[in-house]
Amino acid sequence: MSQPLAQAETSRVYRERRSTQRITPDRRDHRRFGEEDAAPEQLQTALEQDQPVATPEGNREKAYRVLKRGFDIVGVIALIVALSPVLLTTYIVLMITTRGKPLFIQQRIGYLGKKFPMIKFRTMRLDADKLQAQVQNQHNDGPIFKNRQDPRITRIGRWLRKTSIDEMPQLFNVLAGHMSLVGPRPPVAKEVVQYKVWHRRRLAIKPGLTCLWQVSGRSEIGFEDWVRMDIWYARNQNFFTDLWLLVKTPWTVITGRGAY
């Protein structure tokens, strides 16, 4: 792509990114799914039975999907090789400091509501789930749970989160086809059961390692703006957009903005 065309395309993407603030739920979202906001019990049952909870969106062209999957495989293999010293060192250190449990494998909700095991380096105490009720949720505008000073996070874990090293094992999720390099971040089931119909549109494409939310401030962004960003990506999903988000990701990782 020539420089003028690349600049024009970048400007277009930036303008459309800013337009995410104008994405609001309306009756079309309900007609798309043929239902009003489902009760948490209904969504829980659908997830347990592996029933779709969203309708496919995004770029459905076969050429794009083949190219995206091929790029995921090649890119992930290259990243695993390049990052192998970091992955191995982190694994060994956590093997010692976590009493032999360096990995945290958590069930996440992926494409259309399909469950998969997401892999992370362990950043919290082994009894973190039992202690969650004692930690205040500082993210009050949606179903997600965040606390900047969460006491369950270990000293090493806080550094791993700040540098995003804790997310590196998800490269193997991409290799397995659960995730893509670019796509909405996958939620946990207890968040999804509280989704409104239009929130579930973020499940309409395969989840990924990085996304517009990831490079725009992460935890500094409110939940509904986060959803709007994922909907924006679904509407503008193409290879250039994927490359644009991938290029912006390293700087986000280096600065650590919104990571905790």
Res 57: pLDDT: 96
**Two tokens at 176?**
């397995």
Please spell the DSSP secondary structure of the chain, one letter per residue: --HHHHHHHHHHHHHHHHGGGG----HHHHHHHTSSPPPHHHHHHHHHTT---S---S---HHHHHHHHHHHHHHHHHHHHHHHHHHHHHHHHHHHHTTS--EEEEEEE-GGG-EEEEEEE--B-TTHHHHGGGS-----SSS----TT-TTB-HHHHHHHHHTGGGTTHHHHHHHTS-EEESPPPPPHHHHTT--TGGGGGGSS--EEE-TTTTTTGGGS-HHHHHHHHHHHHHT-SHHHHHHHHHHHHHHHHHTTT--
pLDDT along the chain (260 residues), means of 10: 45 50 48 60 89 94 97 98 98 95 96 97 88 70 76 92 95 98 96 93 97 90 93 96 96 80
Q: Rounded CA gap, 38 and 214, in Å?
A: 28
Res 141: pLDDT: 72
Res 139: pLDDT: 64
Q: Give which of 129, 127, 135 is closest to 151, Cα–Cα.
A: 135
Res 204: pLDDT: 96
Res 138: pLDDT: 62
Res 54: pLDDT: 93
Res 27: pLDDT: 44
**Residue 54 and residue 62 in contact, taking contact as beta carbons nearer than 8 Å:** no
Res 256: pLDDT: 80
Q: Rounded CA gap, 22 and 200, in Å?
A: 18
Res 207: pLDDT: 98
Q: Rounded CA gap, 196 and 223, in Å?
A: 12
